Amino acid sequence: MNFLIACGGTAGHINPALAVAQELKGRIPQCRVLFVGAGKELEKRLIPASGFHLVNIKMSGLRRSISPRNLLYNAKTVRNLTTAGIKAENLIKRFAPDAVIGTGGYICYPVLKKAASLKIPTVIHGSDAVAGLTTKMVSGVVDRVLVSFPGLEKDYRVPEKVVFTGTPIRAGFNIEAEQAAKAASGAGTPLVVSFWGSLGAERMNTAMAQVVKLNTENRQFAHIHATGKNSLESMQGKLKRLGVDALSPDISIREYINDMQAVMAEADLVVCRAGASTIAELTAMGKPAILVPSPYVTNNHQQANAQQLEKIGGAVVILEKDCTGGKLYEEITKLLKDKDRLKRMSLAQRSLAVPNAAGKIVDIVLELCRNRLTSERKQ
């Protein structure tokens, strides 16, 4: 069998796609999986590194604010869309997929729309609590719309197509890993893990430098913080200006956390953004969290994601405009002292977990393939 997966732009689109691809290969070892992206840097780095082939079709998005520059950009997008549709059709006819899966990004629009017009089974997965533009645009033509939070049927034109599956996550983010890590480490100094995404965030790293300073003075918890790309030197400068000349052995500042599964498993509290993949990983491990949603994303979807956890008691949400190092440190130390609350937060997080989201998606895809085959035989 052949499966075409369209995704693009961010890790929140790419990582779920990779999880689905790995599930497909696990179920059908001889199947062929081909990724199609829009040529973004993260796609080119993550997808081949996971052992999958990638084809790029040039595609850009829409800018919603009106300005001469944005109007020119959107005109370019319209041209790209026409070309992308032709290239998508050629790719689909050449690869002959049994099903086409989209996990977000503008590239999903031409690929899924063309596949649906050719009567190929199609699904689109939306990871966020707010439906993305592309997901909404193709929801009328695909066979299934897969969502990561319950109760989102009303957000789509054809509610009966909507299926709650959760968000597929990378291997190693599960309660078994968390329990094993805790058993190995034993009781001791609580560990806080913080990160703002692979690109970091200047304002939030400034706040985190203040947290590190306060913790260096008071030694309340062990701390691992990832600054994000090209921000490690800047973070070190911030700490030096705050008078932190040397870190204690239990405080680690890194550019990336490459072994995130293992590090998060040991954490007592996680401080981070509220991207959909991060939310799914937190719920899978049952990790209490302080979430600072990025205000720089479309439709403010990270705040909507964070509120899903806040309303069930799994996370504390602080808006970036209200977030200072002092406030973060105060909230961290308050939570770490309240062990009962941390346990309640952990249980609340797990209540939203979907341990085998990738498996559920593959079940749906294979059922659509069987239905198509049955229909063709009847004809």
Under 8 Å CB-to-CB from 341, ≥6 apart: which residues? 288, 335
How much of the chain exceeds pLDDT 70, in percent? 90
pTM assigned to the model: 0.84
pLDDT of residue 287: 96
Look at residues 337, 185, 351, 168 and name the one whose alpha carbon lies nearest to residue 264: 185
- Report how far apart, in Å, the C-alpha atoms of 238 and of each of 194, 202, 332 are: 17, 10, 20
Put the strands of the sheet holding 251-254 in their side by side order.
251-254, 222-226, 191-195, 269-272, 289-291, 315-317
Topology of domain 175-351, CATH: Rossmann fold (3.40.50)
Amino acid identity at 362: V
Alpha helices in 186-269 (DSSP H): 202-218, 232-241, 260-266
pLDDT of residue 378: 78
Least confident piece of the model among 52-66, 260-274, 305-319, 360-374: 52-66
Q: Are 281 and 264 in contact (CB under 8 A)?
A: yes
- Residue 370, pLDDT > 80, answer yes
Helix then strand then coil, in percent of the chain rounded to 5, is 50, 15, 35
Q: Are 34 and 20 in contact (CB under 8 A)?
A: no
Q: Structure tokens of 354?
A: 């979907």
DSSP letters for 307-334: HHHHTTTSEEE--GGG--HHHHHHHHHH
d(CA 143, CA 126): 14
The pLDDT confidence band at residue 125, using thresholds 50, 70 and 90, is very high
d(CA 306, CA 292): 8
Q: Are 265 and 289 in contact (CB under 8 A)?
A: no
Q: What average pLDDT does range 114-143 have in this prediction?
A: 93
φ, ψ for residue 8, nearest 5 deg: -170, 160
- Residue 284, pLDDT > 80, answer yes
pLDDT of residue 166: 93
What's the first-to-final CA gap in the chain, in angstroms?
Answer: 21
pLDDT in tens, 342-356: 999 999 999 989 889
φ, ψ for residue 56, nearest 5 deg: -105, 135
Which of 59-68, 151-160, 248-257, 329-338 ranks highest by mean pLDDT?
Answer: 329-338
pLDDT of residue 183: 59
Under 8 Å CB-to-CB from 282, ≥6 apart: which residues? 270, 272, 289, 309, 314, 315, 349
Q: What average pLDDT does range 46-52 have in this prediction?
A: 94
Put residue 174 in one of left, alpha, beta given phi > 0 → left and psi -120 to 50 → alpha: beta
Topology of domain 2-167+355-378, CATH: Rossmann fold (3.40.50)
Delimiting residues of CATH 3.40.50.2000 domain(s) in the chain: 2-167+355-378, 175-351
pLDDT of residue 330: 97
pLDDT of residue 374: 87
Under 8 Å CB-to-CB from 36, ≥6 apart: which residues? 4, 5, 6, 54, 55, 56, 57, 88, 91, 107, 111
pLDDT of residue 296: 87
pLDDT in tens, 77-108: 666 667 888 999 999 999 999 999 999 988 99
Look at residues 130, 128, 127, 137 and name the one whose alpha carbon lies nearest to residue 107: 137
pLDDT in tens, 105-120: 889 999 999 999 999 9
pLDDT of residue 133: 81
